[in-house]
Each structure stands twice: as C-alpha cells, then as structure tokens.
Amino acid sequence: MDTTKPEMQFIDLAAQQKRILPQLQKRITDVLLHGNYIMGPEVIELEQKLSDFTGAKHVISCSSGTDALLMVLMARGIGKGDAVFTTPFSFMATAEVIAFLGATPVFVDIDPITFNMNPSSLTKAIEAVLSGDSNVYPLPSNDKKRSRLNPGAIIPVDIFGLPADYVKINSIAEKAGLPVLEDAAQSFGSEYNGKKACNLSDVAATSFFPAKPLGCYGDGGAVFTSDDGFAEVIKSIRVHGRGTEKYDNIRIGINGRLDTIQAAILLEKLKIFTEEIRNRKKVADLYSALLLNKVDIQTVPKGSTSVWAQYSIRSDARDVLRNALKKNNIPTAVYYPKPLHLQTAFASLGYKPGDFPVSEELSNKIFSLPMHPYLTYEQIHHIAGVITKALI
C-alpha cells in the first residue's frame, strides 16, 4: 500500500471541512456567545434560506429526517388501520415511522431503471387495499383476518438523490384522495421538471445526517410545505404539541427541534452547496461515461437531476468488483442489502420473498462507489479502471 497517498474516502467530509473551517468556527463561536442553543436566530435564518432554496413556503427544521417523517404522519393523524404506501427499497426509517404510529406499511415495488416507486404498482397496491384482495397486489398477510385497511398516505422515496415520478404519483394520489409525503432525505438539492426536491408534493421531509448531500455535524432534518395550516400543526408537534402559549398543549407532540449549533453549521455549508452539487454531477457523469455498458447505472430521466447521495451500480459480479476495489483500498458500501419487507422488524407483516422482485434483485446486485464533491479526475479514473479490469 502506498502510504504517501491519503486514503480514499467513501464520503470526504474532512475535505469539505478543511475548505470552510474558519467560517464554521466563527458561526459556532457566535452561537456560544449568544447562548440561544435552542431555536436561536440561526434556526430562523436557516429555515428562511431553505425556503428560498427549495421554493417551499414553509420550512420547519427538526431533529432528524426520521422525526421529520414522523411529525408529518402525526399531523395527518395516521394510525391504526391506515395503510401507508411506500417502497421496500429504502432506509429503515421510511417504513419504521409508519409502524411506530400503529399504521401498516404497504410496500410498492420499484422501477428497475430509476430504482424509485413504480407508479403502476402503486395503482395496483391501492386497488388491492381497497378491495382487500392480495391477488391484485401483495398485501401484508396478517391483515387478512383484521378489518380492512384504509388507504392513508403515500411516501415515495427519492432514492440515492433521484426524485421519484411525481407527475404520475401525485395524479394517482389525487384520484385516490391521498396525501403524498416526499421522503427527500437523500435528494435535497435535486430537481424535477424545473422544481426543487422537497417541493414536489404536498409535503416533504429531508435529513441533515452528516453523510447526506447537505449534512450537519450531528442529527438534523426538516419538513417542507406550502400549506399554512399544515405548517402550524408541524410547528406545534415539534414542541410537545404546543398551543399559543408556552405551557398550553393542544395535541400530542415530540421534542423535535434542531439544535442552533447544527443550524449554524448548515448555514455555512449551504453557501458552497450549489457548487458542491455541480461537482457531484461532474463526478457522476465521469463515472457514467467510464462505466457505460460495463455495469447498470441508475437512469436519470429527462427533466430530472440527481444530487447523487450515492453513486450506485448494479452488477451480477458485485462480490468480484467489491473485492477488487477493496484490494485497491477503494471503499464501497451496499445500500440496501435487505429490502424492508424482508427485515425481521417487519416479519409480522407476513410479506415473503418474491413479493417485490425488482427490489429483491436490486438488493442482491447493487453497490455504491465513493461519491463526494472532492473526488479527483485521477481517483475516478482509477476506480473505473479497477472495475473495468476486474470484469475482463
């Protein structure tokens, strides 16, 4: 191993920090000096900047992407007996919040080229729930004996940074009278038909977990909506269901606030974010050019852009490729090795292998390459070279 070269990072947060360290330090010091650690001025400033960035009228910052999803479902009154439609090819949190509220995740398989929720499968899944007929589409089997589920909401996920097909999904939702919650935890900064992610349906949730495209130095997230009344409810839920006065509680809520220090960090990172997105796209475009026809690449449809939270490829030779990369000190990761319907935590739903074949196949073949805005031309060529050689 060449010890003179710095080790290649899967996500290089240190390179980003090095670039803006004095600004970050100043922002953090400002918070230490004013001492408003909870809901300080940086939180208000950040929410305004995120609103300007996405075009969503209201931004309610919060403690994590998971809590953002949770608060939205709470505000919609989702609970026992409700079916919430989402994809099994996502991070645990997406379906976890549904089950946490006592509602039932009803999974909808993904499209094989975008890896996002397949709208025609969504239509079938809604039909199946309405008729209680799992011959129409696979349903949670334990609900057969129970009273029928009511369709409650749809949570499409913008997987790896690519927005789902909102034209079709929003139209299906409208016909069915269902609200849509965009899980934009990975797609903050992406675009879809000229609009920004987090502003593509009724309401959206994002995450500022450090490894996300826009990350803070701890946990953080936000809810986005242009509905005034709904925004007020989310703000109330964020602080224990607060009413108009401090110790007036009008509903059940959570402690869901974003720390002021995290907002301060995000404000500095937001300043370089547009340039970082451009660099992410350059990295992805070069990968794609070098790997074309060698492995399957997530397809970005016309009218969409991705922030490439992950650059993921699908290959029958996954293990061979990952081993070859590992030997060259190139880190890789598998998102996600097990689709959600096959997770032990959801065993009680009674789904079985074969229910969502596209997600299952992807879980067996997908892996992600190093992706961050500071990858060099040489590093990308090196990675693609190792893959190309391993495939011969």
Binding site for ligand PLP (CB under 6 A): 64-66, 90-91, 93-94, 157, 183, 185-186, 207, 209, 219, 221
Q: Which of 196, 212, 235, 269 is catalytic?
A: 212
Shortest CB 308 distance to ligand PLP, Å: 13
Beta partners for residue 150, in sequence order: 82
HEC-encoded secondary structure of the chain: CCCCCCCCCCCCHHHHHHHHHHHHHHHHHHHHHHCCCECCHHHHHHHHHHHHHHCCCEEEEECCHHHHHHHHHHHCCCCCCEEEEECCCCCHHHHHHHHHCCCEEEECCECCCCCCECHHHHHHHHHHHHHCCCCCCCCCHHHCCCCCCEEEEEECECHHHCCCCHHHHHHHHHHHCCCEEEECCCCCCCEECCEECCCCCCEEEEECCCCCCCCCCCCCEEEEECCHHHHHHHHHHHECCECCCCCCECCCCCECCCEHHHHHHHHHHHHCHHHHHHHHHHHHHHHHHHHCCCCEECCCCCCEECCCCCEEEECCCHHHHHHHHHHCCCCCECCCCCCHHHCHHHHHHCCCCCCCHHHHHHHHHEEEECCCCCCCHHHHHHHHHHHHHHHC
Give 66 or 315: the residue with its C-beta nearer to ligand PLP.
Answer: 66
Give 122 or 387: the residue with its C-beta nearer to ligand PLP.
Answer: 122
Shortest CB 257 distance to ligand PLP, Å: 14
Give 152 or 156: the residue with its C-beta nearer to ligand PLP.
Answer: 156
Task: Give the Cα separation of 211 and 215 in Å (integer).
Answer: 6
Shortest CB 55 distance to ligand PLP, Å: 21
Shortest CB 386 distance to ligand PLP, Å: 27
Question: Catalytic: 212?
Answer: yes
Shortest CB 43 distance to ligand PLP, Å: 16
The residue number whose beta carbon is nearest to ligand PLP equals: 65
Give 94 or 170: the residue with its C-beta nearer to ligand PLP.
Answer: 94
Give 214 or 390: the residue with its C-beta nearer to ligand PLP.
Answer: 214
Give 72 or 383: the residue with its C-beta nearer to ligand PLP.
Answer: 72
Shortest CB 90 distance to ligand PLP, Å: 5
Give 201 or 390: the residue with its C-beta nearer to ligand PLP.
Answer: 201
Shortest CB 145 distance to ligand PLP, Å: 31
Pairing assessment for the beta strands 304-305 and 191-192 based on DSSP bridges: antiparallel
Alpha carbons within 13 A on the beta-carbon side of 392: 5
- Show which residues are catalytic: 212
